[in-house]
Amino acid sequence: MCIGAFAWQAHPLYPFLLLQNRDEYHNRPTEPLAWWEGCEILGGRDEVAGGTWLACSRGGRVAFITNVLELHTLPEAKSRGDLPVLFLESTKTPKEFAAELIKEAHQYNGFNLIVADISSKTMFYVSNRPKGEPTLMQEVSPGIHVLSNAKLDSPWHKAQRLGLSFKERLAKHGKGEIPLKEMVEKLMRDTVKADESKLPHICSLDWEFKLSSIFVEVDTPLGLYGTRSTAALTIKASGEVSFYEMHLDKDTWKGKTVNYHIQRLKS
C-alpha cells in the first residue's frame, strides 16, 4: 500500500511535484534511493522482486505505482513493481506504454500506475481494477491529484485529507519555491485515522482502520507493517530534478537528496 499527492502542470515553477509514502513490511529487504547500477534509473528498489514503487530517469520519465486494496490476490501474479521499471527502460510514449499494458494487465494483482514524460508534458494512468471491468487507461489532466489504494482521486478518507492539506500548502507558498522537507514533515506523518463509516468495507474493518491514516504503522504476526519511506520528487520547468527520500534503516530514519538535470531539457 502507498499513497501519493501530486501536482501535474499546475504550478508555474514545478511542472511536476509529488509527495509519496510507501507502506510495506519493515523486514522486507529494500534498497534506498540511488542510481541503479548499469542504467539511468533513480529510485528505491525492492530487493525481493527487483522492482520499484517510484522512480525517474535521466531522460525525464517518471513512474509510480500503488496496490489496490482487495480481499483476494493471486500468488502466481507478476510483480507489480516491474511496471515502473518497464516504462522507464522503454522508449514508448506514456500513451503507447499504457495501451500495450492493457493487453497483459490481467497478469498482475490490482494496481494503479502513473507513467509520465516531462519533455512531452504527457501523463497516463492505468488501473486493472475493479475485477471484471476493462482495464482503465486515461490521460491525467493538469491539476492536483491523489493516488492511494483505489482509483485515482477516489474519495477515501486518507486521500481526501492528504489532497486538502496538499492544496493548502501549495497555496500558502504561491508561485515560489516549495520547502519539500517541511511539506513531508507536515503532511506525510499524519496518523489521523478514519471513522468506521468512512472505511471502504472491502476487507476486515480492523485492518482497514489501521491502514486509514496517511502514515501507517501496524504490528502484525508477520512483523511491523507500515510507512517505511517517504519521498518528495520535484521537477522544475528548467529540467532541474530534486528527489528527496526519508527511509527507515532498521529503527532509524535517514534522509537523502539526489539532484540532477533532465538531459533533453538542458539549455
Grid cell of 109 as nine digits: 494483482
Q: Give the pLDDT confidence score for residue 264 in this predicted structure.
A: 66
Tens digits of residue pLDDT in 51-85: 999 999 999 999 999 999 998 899 999 999 999 99
pLDDT tens-digit map of 226-253: 999 999 999 999 999 999 999 999 889 9
The C-alpha cell of 266 is what? 538542458
- HEC-encoded secondary structure of 173-241: HCCCCCCHHHHHHHHCCCCCCCCHHHCCCCCCHHHHHHCCCCCCEEEECCEEEEEEEEEEEEECCCCEE
pLDDT (0 to 100) of residue 263: 75
191/194 Cα distance (integer angstroms): 10
For the chain, residues with pLDDT lower than 50 are: 266-267
- pTM > 0.75: yes
Fold of 2-265: Penicillin V Acylase; Chain A (3.60.60)
